[in-house]
Amino acid sequence: MIVPVTAVFAAVLGLLLLVLSSLVVRYRLKFKKGLGVTEDRGFQAAVRAQANLIEYAPMALIMLAIAELNGVPSTWVYWSGMGLVVGRLLHAFGMINGKGGPHVARLAGTVLTWLAILVVALLLIWNVVQVYG
């Protein structure tokens, strides 16, 4: 089985991970810090933006793929995936530009990510109830 919708979102999030990872590497080289962080807020924000993507993206992508494989309508998978990707982009932008502090994009990205995960979770439950209910 193939999951073309999820594959596109995984690719985009993979590219975002590379961008965020390159920011972390730049800070590591700048501060000659192989492990951990310094007191620099930008360095701390870059590390947390990268880590936050790693914390949320895998489970969300797994859920999207299961939904797509289980026959959840592709429109729902697509829009949930869009919410996830836009949420992750906004969150990363807000983290980097807000240097880890409050930023409207960070908040919007968090809410959009959580909403996307919630929608996919509900779709998965609904799909199982419809099929096996």
Asked whether the predicted pLDDT for residue 128 surpasses 90, the reply is yes
Domain count, the chain: 1
What is the extent of the structural domain holding 10?
4-132
Reported pTM = 0.95
| pLDDT of res. 79 | 98
Distance CA 1, CA 60 (A): 19
pLDDT tens for 1-46 read: 899 999 999 999 999 999 999 999 999 999 999 999 999 999 999 9
Domain containing residue 31: CATH number: 1.20.120.550
pLDDT tens figures, 99-123: 989 999 999 999 999 999 999 999 9
